[in-house]
Amino acid sequence: MRTTNTLFLIISLICLYMLSFLAMRVVMQIVFVPEASTQDLWIAYEMGSRLDLRVVCMGVAAILLFSYATALLAPLSARLRQARASTQATTKGGGVAHKILLAYIALISFLVCFSAIGNFYYFKTYHTRIDAFIFGIKDDDTLAILQVIWQDYPVLLILGACVLYAFVCARLARGILSLHLPNLRSVSAIVLHIIAILLLFLGIRGSLGTQPLKADTIYTTQNQSLNHLIFNPILALHYAHTHYKNAIKFQPTTLTEGTALQAKTFPIFFAHTQDMNKPLDSLPITESSAPKSPATHFPAPQSSPHIVAVLMESFASNMLALDDAKDFDLLGSFRPYFESGKRKHAGQNDFVFTHFLSGGNHTAASFALLLPIAPHPTISLSSAKATKLPLTPIDVYKKAGYEVIFITSGNQNWYSLGDYLKVLGADAVYDSSYIAQYYPQSRANAWAFGNADEYAFSLATEILLEAQKPTLLIILTISNHQPFATPKSFEPPTYALDSKMDFFSYDNPQRIRLLLEAFTYASDAFGKFVSEVRNSPTLKDKVIIGASGDHLCRDMKQGANIALDHAVPFYLYIPTHIAKDLEFDPATLGSHKDIFPTLYALSLKEYEFLSLGGRNLFEAHKEGNAKYDFAYNDAVWIDKEGIYPIGTDTGYRYILKDGVITPQEHFQIPESKRQFIDNYHKLSWWQINYRIYGDKAKAP
C-alpha cells in the first residue's frame, strides 16, 4: 500500500464518518429538539463533533497501524515481496493484506451507520442517550424484547441501509487504494506520517488540555434533551458498559464511612416504638460474616391489616395529565377513587399524592430501590444475589409475623426476580405461568410479556380472602407495556385524539390508541380490584392498598417539564378506623423512598427499618421531618427550594400550577446542594455494601 494512498484513504474516511455522525445529530436535533437556542446548538454540535472525532480517529488509526505492520512484515514473506515489487498487483486488490483492510473498513463502516441509526431509535424510545439499560436485552426477557424490536422498528430496512453504507465505503476505499498517486520522498513521507500520527492522537484525546475529553469533562447546555444528543453513540455505549460493569460490583465497607455520610445527610437506620422513630447508630448484624436479619422480632396481632403494595407499569403523571373523564378517559373504574383521593375531605378512605416521583426510570431500577433498597437494578443478577439482606420491606414484615407473597402478571425469570425474592424471604412467588394454569381462560389474552393484569388482581383477592395471618402482597403489573395489547373483553372508551397528538413522541394515531387502551385497561383492572376490596365485608376493614407507577410513560414527548416527566402518583386505600386520625396534605412532596415508611407506620406498632430519606407521608409536617421533605429520582431531585436535574449545574424554581410542579426561572445550583445530593448517592451505595458485607473493619 502506497504511503500517499493510505493517508488519502484515512482523510477520506474521517470526512465521511464525521459527516455521517453530523447528519445523525442534525436529524435528531430537528426531530426531537427543534426549538433549541442558537447558543445551545453551537455547544451541542461543537462538543458532539469532538466526541465523534474521538471515535472516528480511534477507528481509522488502526488503518495506519495496519499499514505500518504490513510494511514491516513484507520482507519476511516472499509473496509479500513479490506483491511489493508489483505495484499493480497490490493496488488492484490482489494482496491478502489489501483484502483484510477492506474487510475492516466494511466492518467499521457498518458500525458507524448502525450506531447512528440505533442512537436515533434509542433516544426516540427512552429519551436519553444510550445508557446501561441497553443491557436489559441480555438481563431481561431477551426473546420478548427482540420481538418488540422486530414489531416496532424497521429492522430489515436498518440492516439493509447499514450493509449498503458499508459496501459503498469499502468500494470507495478500494478505489482510493487503486489510484496511481505519486510516492513522496523519504523525508517528506516521514514528516507527513509524524503529522498524521500527532493529529490522530489529538483527535483521539479530543482535547488539547491535560485531560482527554470524557464524560465528566463534556460541556453541556441548559437543554437536557440536547445534552443527550451530544454523546456519540459508540462512545455512549462504551460509557454505558463501563457503568454497567462497575455498578454491580459490591465491595466491603466500614461503619465509620457510613457514620460520616449520615452525619452529612441524615440517619437511615431506625427503631419505631411508641409512635416514635429512634435513630440507630448501626444495623445490628453479625461481625464475622455476611449480615443476617436482626434477632429482634415484633409479632403482629391477627388484627394487623393486610398490605397490598402495587408497582404499576408506566402509570405515569405525564400521561395522566391528559386524562379527561369525558373524552380522554385513562382511569376507567379507578376514577372515583383516584379523584376522591386528590383532595382532603371528611371521611375519606382514598388518598393520592401527586407531587411524587418514581425512584428510577426503568421498572427494574424502581423495583430495586423499593424492595432490596439497592441503587442498581441488577443486584438480583450480581454476586449478592444469594445474600439475604436485612431490613428490606420483606424482612420488616416477616419479623412482624406477616406472610409475604409476590405476584406478577409477567415472568418471574425477569432479572431472576423470583429466585431473588425467595432469597429475601418471600414465602411464595406467582407469575404468568402459574396464572395461566390457575386461570386457563387467561391464556386467550396472553401476550409477549405475560398475562392480563386482571388475573393477577383476581389471584390477589383470593389470597386475601383465604389468608390466615397478616399478609404482605407485592404486585408488579405488566399490561401497560409494549407491545400494547388488551383483552378482547375490554371495551375501551373513545379518545378525542386530534387535539392531543402533539403530546406523543410519534405521529401514528393507531399506535397511540393501542397505547391509550392499554393504559386505561391497566387502570381499570386496578380500579376493579380496589372496588372489590372496599366493597367486601371481609376485606374492607382489613386491607391497606398502596400503588404507584414504576416510571414515566416513554411514549410521551419529554423535556418541557422535567418534574412532570418523572412524576408518578401514589395512591392509598386505608380502612376508616385507621384513616380517621390521619393528617393529609395533598401537596406533600414525596417519592418511592416514602412508600414503605408510610406503610410501616399505618400497619405496624414496633419495628426496625431502613429509610433512605423516606418518612410517613401523613407526618410530613411533623417536627424533625423537614430534612426528609424532598423527592428523589435517578434523574432529578426536588425540594421546597427548587428542581435539581441530577448531574447538571442548573436548577429551577417552581410553582404549583393545576396541581403540577411547574418549572420557572433557572438558577445556578449551589455547591452545597450538589454535594448533599452526591453524599446521598454515596450513602445509598454505602448502605447496600454494608448490608451485604457488614463492617469490614471488624471482620476477622
pLDDT higher than 80, residue 305? yes
Q: Band of the pLDDT at 424, cuts 50, 70, 90?
A: very high
Is 64 found in the same domain as 141? yes
What is the per-residue pLDDT across 316-338, written as a single tens digit (0 to 9) for each? Answer: 999 999 999 999 999 999 999 99
- End-to-end alpha carbon distance in the chain: 64
Q: What is the pLDDT of residue 210?
A: 58
pLDDT higher than 90, residue 388? yes
Q: What is the pLDDT of residue 239?
A: 81
Last residue of a domain, one of 225, 247, 269: 247
Is 260 found in the same domain as 240? no
Is residue 435 one of the residues assigned to a domain?
A: no
Give the structural domain span for 75.
Answer: 3-247
Is residue 442 one of the residues assigned to a domain?
A: no
Query: Span 535-554, mean pLDDT?
Result: 96
Query: Span 131-160, mean pLDDT?
Result: 78
pLDDT higher than 90, residue 294? no
Is residue 430 one of the residues assigned to a domain?
A: no
Is residue 234 one of the residues assigned to a domain?
A: yes
In the chain, the amino acid numbered 28 is M
**Exposed/middle/buried for residue 503 (C-beta within 10 Å: 0-12, 13-18, 19+):** middle
Q: What is the pLDDT of residue 216?
A: 55
How far is it between the farthest Cα atoms of the chain?
97
Is 589 found in the same domain as 472? yes
Partner residues linked to 607 by β-bridges: 272
Buried b (16+ CB within 10 A) or exposed e, 178-204: eeeeeebeeeeeeeebeebeeebeebb
CA dihedral 270, 275, 276, 280 (to 10 degrees): -20
Is 259 found in the same domain as 238? no
Query: Span 280-302, mean pLDDT?
Result: 51
Q: Are 6 and 53 in contact (CB under 8 A)?
A: no
Q: Band of the pLDDT at 87, cuts 50, 70, 90?
A: very low
- Write the CB contacts of 198 (distance below 8 Å, at least 6 apart in sequence): none
Q: What is the pLDDT of residue 217?
A: 59
Q: Band of the pLDDT at 291, cuts 50, 70, 90?
A: very low
Q: At what angle do helices 453-466 and 509-534 cross, to 10 degrees?
A: 10
pLDDT higher than 80, residue 90? no
Is residue 437 one of the residues assigned to a domain?
A: no
**Weakest mean pLDDT among 9-13, 45-49, 299-303:** 299-303
Q: What is the pLDDT of residue 86?
A: 47
% of the chain residues with pLDDT over 70: 89
CATH number at residue 534: 3.40.720.10
**Exposed/middle/buried for residue 647 (C-beta within 10 Å: 0-12, 13-18, 19+):** middle
Q: Band of the pLDDT at 482, cuts 50, 70, 90?
A: confident
Partner residues linked to 406 by β-bridges: 429, 474
Distances 423 to 47, 56, 395, 417, 688 between C-alpha atoms, Å: 46, 47, 11, 10, 16
Query: Span 163-174, mean pLDDT?
Result: 95
Last residue of a domain, one of 247, 279, 301: 247
Q: What is the pLDDT of residue 130?
A: 85
- Write the CB contacts of 659 (distance below 8 Å, at least 6 apart in sequence): 342, 354, 586
What is the per-residue pLDDT across 601-649, written as a single tens digit (0 to 9) for each? Answer: 999 999 999 999 999 999 988 888 889 999 999 999 999 999 999 988 9
Chain centroid, CA 442 distance in Å: 30
Query: Span 103-119, mean pLDDT?
Result: 95
Is residue 447 one of the residues assigned to a domain?
A: no
- Alpha helices, H only, 352-481: 363-370, 393-399, 417-424, 432-438, 453-466
Is 670 found in the same domain as 616? yes
What is the per-residue pLDDT across 442-457, written as a single tens digit (0 to 9) for each? Answer: 988 887 788 999 999 9
Query: Where is 58: in which H helix or E strand?
Result: helix 38-73
d(CA 10, CA 551): 45
List the 660-668 sheet strands across, edge first.
630-632, 636-639, 642-645, 650-657, 660-668
Is residue 421 one of the residues assigned to a domain?
A: no
d(CA 460, CA 474): 9
Mean pLDDT of the chain: 87
Is 496 found in the same domain as 398? yes
Query: Where is 352: in which H helix or E strand?
Result: strand 350-353
Nearest partner of 556 among 322, 328, 332, judged by Cα: 322
Q: Band of the pLDDT at 284, cuts 50, 70, 90?
A: low
DSSP string of 126-183, one letter each residue: HSSSS-GGGGHHHHS-HHHHHHHHHHHS-HHHHHHHHHHHHHHHHHHHHHHHTS-PPP
* Model pTM above 0.85: no
Q: How many domains does the chain have?
A: 2
Is 341 found in the same domain as 217? no
Q: Which residue would you say has higher pLDDT here, 249 or 657?
A: 657
Last residue of a domain, one of 199, 230, 247: 247
Q: What is the pLDDT of residue 625?
A: 86
What is the per-residue pLDDT across 183-237, written as a single tens digit (0 to 9) for each? Answer: 766 777 778 878 888 888 888 887 776 567 766 556 666 577 788 888 899 998 8
Query: Span 583-589, mean pLDDT?
Result: 95
Q: Please calculate the CA angle 335-632-670 and round it to the nearest 5 degrees.
A: 135
Q: Which three cell numbers stand for residue 698?
A: 471488624
Q: What is the pLDDT of residue 378?
A: 86
CA dihedral 234, 239, 243, 244 (to 10 degrees): 10
Is 243 found in the same domain as 271? no
pLDDT higher than 50, residue 660? yes
Is 269 found in the same domain as 370? yes
Q: What is the pLDDT of residue 139?
A: 60
Q: Band of the pLDDT at 505, cuts 50, 70, 90?
A: confident
Is residue 118 one of the residues assigned to a domain?
A: yes
Query: Span 10-17, mean pLDDT?
Result: 94
Is 332 found in the same domain as 224? no
Is 187 found in the same domain as 335? no
Is 283 found in the same domain as 149? no
pLDDT higher than 90, residue 573? yes
